[in-house]
Structure 1
């Protein structure tokens, strides 16, 4: 059995915590599973599985979920947070993040207690493409910046040739174009990703009030 360092939460426990947080927000908003599904564009079964801790969503889908609930993405990871306001400064120390793992990626969500940010910054750990399982490209509203912290990374883009990036190199693109990342060699890779949010005015207005 894998041993976890003290204080490190197992993936199943993280999924359960996310499910509890989703259910809490949904109940606070007075929404049914069907209403959240309709507002977010996700299947009712998908929302239900997330609430029950049976599924971890990719970035594009948990962004849809946040938009459907009318909250900032960070609010799904932290029960208590404050809006980022003009003139404010925030610092993230080493190890200060919320870990979100999917079948393919491990995201370290930075500044989870800072809501209504214009950008969503994340550190990520990648595996080689051969060890990952994809059934579709990821795509979502907004723009995206990726910087290779360590290793080599292949960025696969819908309807374009793959782009290989070495350590210290970066790419900036429209997140609405289908994309996925993988380590380019047999070793893993570390990346910094920053996404902007492109949600609608109604969701922005609700998120500002949350």
Structure 2
């Protein structure tokens, strides 16, 4: 029986395939444009792999679309003067091996910021093969629990509920719960190149 996370992963794969076909691109072309392996793009399209934020940002860049377009089939570009509201429970969930992302405003495209909530397991339950890094700037606030933020070039930083950190997202980073229970965080990734 498929889980909800499996179904969402399949739906994202279908969305990726539709975006690729609409542009008349091959898997090889999308892989080359995004800097991802052809096998990775293929696995995502078939719903076999969930990407971390930096990798799905690369994929969106390779397709020339907003990150939010990978999560929502319908949406519109953010307009000057617009006010968008996300009510409690209104998000597009993306589950990876290590994180559960709740993408806020998935139907508002071309935002200068990408706000999301996250649930993190303790580091001993997580499996990292590399640091995450992507263009832009990032803000993280701990909502519940304790958070360890590890940067590739400095000692881990432990944050308590209510604490926050702001940093250059190009710096390799990882998040994990610093306690034995999951931690809840608010993350805002700012696209400094946004229109």
Alignment of 1:111-190 (within 5 A): 111-190=105-184
CA contact (8 A) 2:140 2:187 kept: yes
Unaligned runs of 5+ in 1: 3-8
Deviations 1:14-37 (A, max 9, x none): 111000000000000110000000
Equivalent of 2:100 in 100, 106, 121: 106
CA distance in structure 1 between the partners assigned to 2:191 and 2:55 by the alignment: 13
Give the aligned partner of residue 74 of structure 1: 68
Give the aligned partner of residue 24 of structure 1: 18
1:198 Cα deviation after fit: 4.8
Q: Kindly tell me: are residues 134 and 17 of structure 1, through their superposed partners in 2, closer, same or farther at Cα, counting changes over 3 Å?
A: same
Alignment of 1:9-20 (within 5 A): 10-20=4-14
Aligned-partner SS, 2:73: coil
Unaligned runs of 5+ in 2: none
CA contact (8 A) 2:146 2:178 kept: yes
Deviations 1:115-173 (A, max 9, x none): 00000000000110000000100000000000000111010001111111000000000
CA contact (8 A) 2:112 2:192 kept: no
Deviations 1:19-68 (A, max 9, x none): 00000000001100000000000000000000000000000000000000
Aligned-partner SS, 1:124: strand
Aligned length: 195
Give the aligned partner of residue 94 of structure 1: 88
Give the aligned partner of residue 39 of structure 1: 33
The ranges of structure 1 where at least 4 consecutive aligned residues each deviate by more than 4 angstroms after the TM superposition are none
